[in-house]
Amino acid sequence: MKRLIFIFILLFANNSAWAVVNPADGTSGNIYTEILIVLFLVALLLLIVSVVLLKTVRVMANEIKVPGIIPATEPTKMLEYEEWLASETAEKSSKLSSWNKLLGLRPISEEKDMMLEHDFDGITELDNPTPVWFNAMFYGSILFAVIYLLNYHVLEWSPLQDEEYAIEMKAAKASKSAFLAKARNLIDETTVQVDGNAAVLAAGKTVFIQNCVACHASDGGGTVGPNLTDEYWIHGGTVNNIFKTIKYGIPEKGMIAWEKTLTVQQTSDVSNFILSLSGTKPANPKEPQGTKM
């Protein structure tokens, strides 16, 4: 075959008849080189194809023992071939065995041993082994189910969905109230509101009784500190002024800064409570201090 191609190329190479005459100027154009190249490429292609084909035939022969390849009249050759095939197969299978096992594959040479007995109109079935990956998944899922059952329903280590929902809702509620508490911290002397709500006043009164009576008397009439019920204020009588006085205090005059002791909510509440005291008649009112508001 190769020889044939070679001869063919030579034939082309030596035949000047292939030179074409250019009709425009009469010079003979030399397409000889191009043809040579094309032929060379074709030859190369043929060579590659024949090598591949040869290899395929060999592979097929090895795998499925094409009987025609080695004449039965040469028993020694046949024996050699069998030996070679056995060693080749062993080598190949040792190389591939772990991979094949994983995929549950067996060499095609074992096909006839894997054939199942039954036959449906010529359609037979191979008794292929179950792939390892499939078994792993199958037994893995059983194991998972057992662990799941024990975890969620027997030992009850992990919460079930509705429990989990409740837990999450609780956590969300907690974080919501934490946020609201923080949001309340946003109240300051500029944003504090007048609030006559009974609950606010009650909360404010509690704060007042607990912290302020020593200097302002339980009815706000004043002792060390000024009377908080009259219209006279040293530091202003609006809710904002009162809040500011309580928050920062007047340290040099003996009025403590309550910023660190009271929450802003408490400060706001007690400010409103003090506002609610105005106009009440304390038992022993201290004389007015500051300016009339």
Positions in the binding site for ligand HEC (CB under 6 A): 208, 211-212, 214-216, 224-226, 228, 233-235, 242, 245-246, 250, 253-256, 258, 270, 274, 289-290
CA distance 152 to 166: 16
CA distance 113 to 283: 113
Would you say 200 or 274 has its CB closer to ligand HEC?
274
State the minimum distance, in angstroms, from the CB of residue 158 to ligand HEC: 49
Would you say 85 or 213 has its CB closer to ligand HEC?
213
State the minimum distance, in angstroms, from the CB of residue 282 to ligand HEC: 14
For residue 156, is it left (φ>0), alpha (ψ between -120 and 50) or beta?
Answer: left
Q: How many CA atoms lie within 13 A of 31 on its CB side?
A: 9
State the minimum distance, in angstroms, from the CB of residue 202 to ligand HEC: 15
Handedness of CA 176, 178, 181, 182 (dihedral sign): negative
Burial class of residue 118 (count of CB atoms within 10 Å of its CB; 0-12, 13-18, 19+): exposed
State the minimum distance, in angstroms, from the CB of residue 288 to ligand HEC: 9
State the minimum distance, in angstroms, from the CB of residue 227 to ligand HEC: 8
Would you say 26 or 196 has its CB closer to ligand HEC?
196
Would you say 131 or 236 has its CB closer to ligand HEC?
236
Q: Which residues contact 190 (CB under 8 A, 6 or more apart)?
A: 240
CA distance 266 to 274: 12
State the minimum distance, in angstroms, from the CB of residue 212 to ligand HEC: 3
Would you say 106 or 246 has its CB closer to ligand HEC?
246
Residue type, 268: S
Q: How many CB atoms lie within 10 A of CB 200?
A: 20
Would you say 106 or 233 has its CB closer to ligand HEC?
233
